[in-house]
Structure 1
Amino acid sequence: MGWPVKPVGGPGEAIQEEVEDRGNKSGEESKEPGWASGMRTVQSQESSPEELPMEWSRQWVVVRRVLLAVLLFGLVSGNSVLLVYIFRNCGPGPCYSPACLDLLAHYLASGNTSMAPCTNFFSFTCGKAKGIQPLEDENKSRLRRILESPVSWHLGSGEEKAFQFYNSCMNTHAIEAAGASPLRQVIEELGGWRISGNWTSLDFNRTLRLLMSQYGYFPFFRAYLGPLPVPPYTTAIQIDQPEFDVPLKQEQEQKIYAQIVREYLTYLNRLGTLLGGDPGKVQEHASLSISITSRLFQFLRPLEQRRAQGKLFQMVTIDRLQEMAPAIDWLSCLQAIFAPISLSSSQSLVVHDLEYLRNMSQLVEGLLLKHSDFLQSHMILGLVGTLSPALDSKFQEARRILRQKLRELTERPPMVGFVVKILLCLKGCIPAHPRWMQCVEETGAFFKPTLAALFVHEAFDPNTRSAAMELFTAVKDALISRLQRVSWLNEETRKEAQDRAMELFTAVKDALISRLQRVSWLNEETRKEAQDRVTHLQVKMGPLEWVLKPEPARQQYGDIQLGPSFLQSFLSCARSLRARNVQRFLLPFPHLRWQVSPWEVNAYYSISDDVMVFPAGLFQPPFFHPDYPRAVNFGAAGSIMARELAHLFHQLLLPGGCPACDTHALQGALLCLERHYAAFPLPNGSSFSDSHTLLENAADVGGLAIALKAYTKRLLRYHGETTLPNMNLSPQQLFFRSYAQVMCKGLSSQDSQDAHSPPILRVHGPLSNSPAFSRHFHCPRGALLNPSSHCQVW
């Protein structure tokens, strides 16, 4: 039989032992006097071998309690210090680099932190952004500094001609001194006009050829080179409707129509008077010119109507077009425009509105029979508007007044948004920015290869390029990952896209595929095709090949003759540019066909080459900098990248664009998104077309989600994230703040022709559809930017 074993050291057990021992001896001890009893107790504590362990155990219990308390306190205190140390040294710390401090100043100057982010994040971000210079203007300022720097270039080089042209453009004293003389010389070369009393009746088609080939003015139709919309995307000559100075449609409100006609007539009268015309003749010819423009407008058909009828891309030969629209000598005109391309009557063309060309030809034939001199005046008046940027201040002021008057008219309902795009983008109009910016834009257009190399050398060093590629890789991975979750894609399509996704730019691919995985309306086959397309997409980041090796392109400036007047320099550069554009489409190298300047901000996608370009101008402060917190780069430049990638799948969202998809789920997602945006109020009673902007809204929402996913994955892989000091924003909050910063534009720039929603909706729409936004900004349920439901297209 074993002996029972008692645990040692417990206070309850020690007390119990003491009680039991005293109970056993109570009979003896009670017979002694009290002091003896007390003495015995003392003596027993000191000398009794039975009682010594019991008393020592009681003291040890107390000591152990104290030691345990001290140890526990030390552990808690030590862990607290350790956690503080870890958070201070491993958590996001403030960035004090010069780039970050400049960005901080920019954000503080543009935002209005008194606004509640959960109810008006647009004002929270952009409330004071009215005076902030946009990135595009900042890039132009950089070009200005380059063009105005004192540098000596090799005689006759592209750099020298670019600098000479810019200086000639800035020499307003010489332009004013020349007055209208250079323009009168141009009119004489075209045979003159009856307004000035001297007119040599030239052949109509000869004048038309000169206008289009030598002066870049297309009064009755536009002709240009462009890729076909279907594989193999070969280049073809395309004929489209012309561009007009003003809209003169008869169905406009009669009062507004009459006011537009009156203002445009005043403008044309002023042009004729500045060119020395007789006021009576000027009035007569200007009135008929307006009548011609109004008739041509009546022949136009909306783009949607032509697309619905299958008549947006009609293939016809030059011979066939000659039969349908005989007033134009098509072969000689097109040969002059696209020289040195050799054309024949059997050459195929792409015509975008054949019915318009028929009606236009009949109108021209009638005018040639009765009013050929008026037709000549109509063409010359239009040319003067095209050449306005190269003329003196009197012509520019006339253009500015016309633009201002027409803008005032368009601010009156119901004309709001109807002609804003045309009015804000009048061909040859004088921009509302300083002279240096106009000269930078023109120099950049005519000497793009030269300025591209100078800009890239100045603004896109290897570190920036490397950081930009890392950012795109992350975004593309996120997009491919998004595709995995799109439910309306079939399994075969999904698998193929995944396999290809791993071949190119790992980080960006994951985010995109992941996003597509969550789209419920994609079937597996379409999902796979979408992922496959993303994987094999070619990407050009920053400078293109022709920028890095610009010498062959610079040698193409030999045909430019500058002077003696700025107008002559302008025309010489314009002719050289048109010739280079034609030559570029004859070359077998796709990168030579790009039209995006490195200093531009917008990305560009080529259908024919399946290449997407993110120009160097995009990767500039305040959208991107290698020293910025990753949250800023992913929120601003990263969201732009993701949105452009989402544009690759616009076709799937169109009616009939994805026959194998779950169309019911897709339409439900699109309807959800349309209602989601319609629920947001707009200031000042402004409005927009939900259906017109639906595709862009889907790209905005998808782009934000993809960029956020890419940023989140990047945080898991890399440490050392930073924030901006004194802004009290977490990295995730800074991500959303940077996204909204991209949209800081005034509502006045919105018009009905713009495919995008107003800037305030481009902020609130995507953010309110992101549960992560409301979580990181602690938005209460039911707040404007934390609605009860969300939509998922991508």
Structure 2
Amino acid sequence: MSETPIELEPQLSVQPSSQPEPDGGLRPPSLLPQPFPTQDPPHNTQIQQTQIQIQESNPGHQAKPVWINHRRLLLFGLSLCAVILGFIFKHHNPQDRRTDQEGKAVTPCFSPACQLASARLSLSADPFTQPCDYFLSTCGSDRLSPDSWGRLRGQGIPGHPQNPKEKTGWTKRRGQSAQRDDRGLREEETLDRKTVLLKYLREVLESNHSAGSTAVQKTRGFFRSCLDTRSIDTAGAEPFLALIQKLGGWAVSGQWNRTDFNSTLSRLMRDYATFPFFNLYVGKDPNETTLGSTKRYIQIDQPDLLIPIEWNSKTLKSQAKTQTLRPFLASCHRYLALLGAVPNSSMIHVGTFISLSSELAVAAAPLQHRLSTGRLYQRMTIRELQSKAPAIDWLSCLQAAFHPLLLTKDDHVLLHNSLYIQQMSRIVSKWLNRRELSTILTVHTFMVLNLLHTLMPALDSRFSDTENTLAVALGHTEGVAPRWKRCVLETERGFPSVLTHLLSERTAHREAEEMIQNIFSSFKSKLNELNRTDGKSFQSVMKKVQSLIPRLWTTNESYTEAVIDQLFSEVTVDTHGFFSNYVQLLSLWQKRQSQLLAEQAEAPDILSVTPFLLGDELLFPMGMFVPPLFHPSYPRAMNYGVMGFLIAKDILHLILPDIYSQSETVHAVGDCVWDHYLTVTETAGRGGAFPLSAAQQQEVWLQYSALQIALQAYRLSLENDPGDTSISGLSHTRLFLTSFSQVNCDSDPYRDFMPLQPSFLITVICAESDLCPAGLQCPNRTQKHSLRTC
């Protein structure tokens, strides 16, 4: 007997889930129809048809290994069992068998994506069977342990409205310099969603559903060569040594032709995207961005020095510690040994390299210090730069790096630490002007070892093992990313337009756009419900919101396969020669910087997984809408329960970062939800309750509001297009809430401000509502009628 959905009320909402699959073990069948269908699946699909669909999901391979067939049969069997168990469960739970106002039965979804989703749900805890135990879990966090009560965690989250240490400086970071530093932070903050996207891109790259264009074949060939660690290890250090000979040799491992300093530096910048003495990238001037300008400039920053250093806040200088120099010294000796250096001379070369590195490090300063002293975005012409730092032939080097663009001495650049650039020039001149050959060789060795660092991902495991050993010795315990993940990132770095094109083909544009519009509409309705304490400030927020145009961030329609093929026509990929492929990647990356300097349009960032503002547009990256978080064949209840909640939460964080000071509703709702939690856990009676901080109240209100926004948006979707499918025989409401509960343990940049698990919000919504499939009451605890509506 099928369970049927009940009518949805507009004031409710839900939260999504992004649980990345483990790296090891068998992977499920492909979720990559090419492209995704944009229309709803047929309602009367049979289980037999589903089995055929799964078997034929990859027509490019007619002959399959036996273990693959067994794996698919096993997964199908698990999925079928989950569906049957769902039906049996309903027969023994008559209180869950409901119908909507029209009495329509729930239509099951049997698409391959739904089969996998059903299997995942069957292996997850059901939030409606043991609600108290499930909703009060903490995912291993110590946020609710007795020792943590009463103190606010997460004060180090940059940019949060309740973080006074970061608020002033962080908001000033607007240009490309900020984007470089922020990108790594954003990747760390959104690790789970980013991992989901990377796994999906991995599946795209491994898919042989169709041959694709020549550029697509080259991209997949590059990815395969990156995974071929056997060939990489077999090649050893020889590819790098051969490259050094092309640059004029190196006295440490052979002969050296004493090549000119500036000509060698120009080649490193142009052909290998290596910048030993300074960093080089492209970005906007934040002072002009506020005026609507899209012009980009060459940005010159201090380099990422290889030597480990730390900042001394008393002397306001960088320095190296003895305990960090020892493992660094050992790693340098190891690198030289791998490159064929004579053991007796290795000590001399390493010693002078560290000496030069230490001198450069003294002039470097961390970003926060440069922010406070106004050293960022200092504009000057290349002519003025040449007079400040004469050791570098700036015009020649910049013309090489941004070839074929024509630069003149009157073109402007932006400096991010002019004191370092001046000091670097004096240091390099001192070493080059000495008569001893060893001192001149030291500068060359410095450049060679920086090139080695650039090419490290393409060298054999002995080099990466040495690098990892140093990282552990320096206390970096985050671990090594799996090889497949690094290869996906490197492939995106060299072929971003190809991957963007492939992702665009597989993105369900219509379904994603519909969800974006419905969520944004519900978001605006939620704003109107707020009680304002600062009317003027709130009106400016409303005016900004009304002017925004939300949309999916897609590629230019003129970016066809033919155009992409032309872009990569000169690229040759050796599936067993990753080093040569990687060298081409570096050249491609540097050429793309030249294009970025000339163009004004913002190209989509394929690795982005959160929305952002660009002028009057609120852009949502395509990377947000990938399985298992989103799929066009999923029931809309599942899509809105997961991705709808995430979108709503992202919008609230982006547009209302400090709403706490502008609305009494934030205080009231935050306290109301917290009262529910204290009552259910009986904490108040034990005297263990503590008041929420402003940051915690805001986060509780925000996530509860995101839940309401998502559910209201789902209701709007049903009004526009009545009817929805379901999986595991669950009613629409229960599927929506169950899907939301799966995201409970997802990583989130504001997670430490949330004093309770987001899935507990289901209990709050169900306390005074007849929407829920069953009463979520805790035995021997507070009854439903005693809890107030939030």
Shared fold by TM > 0.5? yes
1:473, distance to aligned residue in structure 2 (A): 0.7
1:364, distance to aligned residue in structure 2 (A): 2.5
Q: SS of the residue aligned with 1:328?
A: coil
Aligned to 1:37: none
1:555, distance to aligned residue in structure 2 (A): 0.9
Q: SS of the residue aligned with 2:310?
A: coil
**Does 2:363 align with 1:299?**
yes
Aligned to 1:417: none
Aligned to 1:97: 110
**Does 2:522 align with 1:478?**
yes
Q: Report sequence identity in percent.
A: 24
Cα distance change on mapping 1:141 and 1:165 into 2, 3 Å: closer
Unaligned residue ranges in structure 2 (runs of 5+): 1-93, 142-190, 679-692
1:705, distance to aligned residue in structure 2 (A): 1.9
Equivalent of 2:511 in 467, 470, 487: 467
For 2:308 and 2:777, the matched residues in 1 are separated by 46
Aligned to 1:523: 535
Describe how 1:260-271 pairs up with structure 2 within 5 A: 260-271=324-335
1:471, distance to aligned residue in structure 2 (A): 0.9
Aligned to 1:319: 383
For 2:753 and 2:251, the matched residues in 1 are separated by 52
Aligned to 1:73: none
For 1:246 and 1:757, the matched residues in 2 are separated by 33
Aligned to 2:609: 602
Q: SS of the residue aligned with 1:233?
A: coil
Cα distance change on mapping 1:122 and 1:584 into 2, 3 Å: same
Aligned to 1:119: 136
AA at the equivalent of 1:737: S
Aligned to 2:708: 708
For 2:357 and 2:531, the matched residues in 1 are separated by 48
1:238, distance to aligned residue in structure 2 (A): 1.4
Aligned to 2:555: 544
Q: SS of the residue aligned with 2:252?
A: helix
8 Å Cα contact 1:701-1:766 kept in structure 2:
no
For 2:700 and 2:456, the matched residues in 1 are separated by 37
AA at the equivalent of 1:241: Q
Cα distance change on mapping 1:764 and 1:324 into 2, 3 Å: farther
User: 1:72-105 CA distances to partner (integer Å, 9 max, x unpaired)?
Assistant: xxxxxxxxx9997746974995855343442233
8 Å Cα contact 1:331-1:344 kept in structure 2:
yes
User: 1:11-57 CA distances to partner (integer Å, 9 max, x unpaired)?
Assistant: xxxxxxxxxxxxxxxxxxxxxxxxxxxxxxxxxxxxxxxxxxxxxxx
Aligned to 2:204: 143
**Does 2:224 align with 1:178?**
no
**Does 2:218 align with 1:161?**
yes
Greater share of helix residues, 1 or 2?
Answer: 1
User: 1:587-624 CA distances to partner (integer Å, 9 max, x unpaired)?
Assistant: 45x2xx41412xx46135364x6544433332222211
Equivalent of 2:466 in 387, 392, 398: 398
Q: SS of the residue aligned with 1:199?
A: coil
1:567, distance to aligned residue in structure 2 (A): 2.0
Aligned to 1:553: 564
For 2:425 and 2:621, the matched residues in 1 are separated by 42
Aligned to 2:187: none
User: 1:107-130 CA distances to partner (integer Å, 9 max, x unpaired)?
Assistant: 454659778244325369xxxxx9
User: 1:358-387 CA distances to partner (integer Å, 9 max, x unpaired)?
Assistant: 333333333334433222212211211210
Deviates more, 1:330-339 or 1:771-780: 771-780
Deviates more, 1:199-208 or 1:396-405: 396-405
Instruction: Name the count of aligned residue pairs.
Output: 598
For 1:330 and 1:773, the matched residues in 2 are separated by 66
**Does 2:257 align with 1:200?**
yes
Aligned to 1:190: 247
Q: SS of the residue aligned with 2:569?
A: helix
1:570, distance to aligned residue in structure 2 (A): 1.8
Larger radius of gyration: 1
Cα distance change on mapping 1:303 and 1:723 into 2, 3 Å: farther
CA RMSD of aligned residues (A): 4.7
1:273, distance to aligned residue in structure 2 (A): 0.9
Aligned to 1:734: 738
8 Å Cα contact 2:337-2:343 kept in structure 1:
yes
**Does 2:308 align with 1:247?**
yes
1:259, distance to aligned residue in structure 2 (A): 3.7
1:256, distance to aligned residue in structure 2 (A): 10
**Does 2:455 align with 1:387?**
yes
AA at the equivalent of 2:482: H
8 Å Cα contact 1:331-1:343 kept in structure 2:
yes
For 2:431 and 2:322, the matched residues in 1 are separated by 24
For 2:352 and 2:124, the matched residues in 1 are separated by 50
Describe how 1:274-289 pairs up with structure 2 within 5 A: 274-289=338-353
Aligned to 2:588: 576
Equivalent of 1:764 in 751, 757, 780: 757
1:248, distance to aligned residue in structure 2 (A): 1.9
Describe how 1:680-695 pairs up with structure 2 within 5 A: none
**Does 2:361 align with 1:354?**
no
8 Å Cα contact 1:319-1:345 kept in structure 2:
yes
Aligned to 2:492: 444
Cα distance change on mapping 1:325 and 1:611 into 2, 3 Å: farther
AA at the equivalent of 1:574: L
So what's the TM-score if we normalise by structure 2?
Answer: 0.64
8 Å Cα contact 2:494-2:589 kept in structure 1:
yes
AA at the equivalent of 1:260: T
Q: SS of the residue aligned with 1:223?
A: strand
Cα distance change on mapping 1:734 and 1:83 into 2, 3 Å: closer
User: 1:257-294 CA distances to partner (integer Å, 9 max, x unpaired)?
Assistant: 43432222222211111111112322332244344444
Describe how 1:575-654 pairs up with structure 2 within 5 A: 575-587=587-599, 590=601, 593-597=602-606, 600=607, 602-603=609-610, 605=612, 607=614, 611-646=617-652, 648-649=654-655, 653=658
User: 1:689-733 CA distances to partner (integer Å, 9 max, x unpaired)?
Assistant: xxxx99999689636624532422532653546665388983563
Unaligned residue ranges in structure 1 (runs of 5+): 1-80, 125-129, 412-419, 425-430, 486-517, 654-660, 681-692, 746-755
For 2:735 and 2:577, the matched residues in 1 are separated by 56
